[in-house]
A and B are shown apart, each in its own frame.
Chain A
Amino acid sequence: AQSVTQLGSHVSVSEGALVLLRCNYSSSVPPYLFWYVQYPNQGLQLLLKYTTGATLVKGINGFEAEFKKSETSFHLTKPSAHMSDAAEYFCAVRDNNNDMRFGAGTRLTVKP
Chain B
Amino acid sequence: GAVVSQHPSWVICKSGTSVKIECRSLDFQATTMFWYRQFPKQSLMLMATSNEGSKATYEQGVEKDKFLINHASLTLSTLTVTSAHPEDSSFYICSAEGPGSPGANVLTFGAGSRLTVL
Interface set of A (CB-CB < 8 Å, partner B):
32, 34, 36, 41-46, 49, 51, 90, 94, 98-105, 107
In the complex, residue of chain B having the shortest beta-carbon distance to the beta carbon of A101? B46
Interface residues on B, range: 20 to 34
Q: How far is the CB of A91 from chain B (nearest CB, A)?
A: 10
Inter-chain contact total with CB atoms closer than 8 Å:
54
B82 to chain A, nearest CB (A): 24
Decide if B93 touches A49 in the complex (CB within 8 Å).
Answer: no
Chain B, residues 45-73, CB within 8 Å of chain A (1/0): the string is 01001000000000000000000000000
Give me the interface of B with A, judged by CB distance under 8 Å: 4, 6, 9, 32, 34, 41-44, 46, 49, 91, 93, 95, 102-112, 114
B43 to A105, Cβ gap below 8 A?
yes
Q: Which residue of A lies closest to B111 (CB)?
A: A43
Q: Give B104's nearest chain A residue, CB to CB.
A: A51
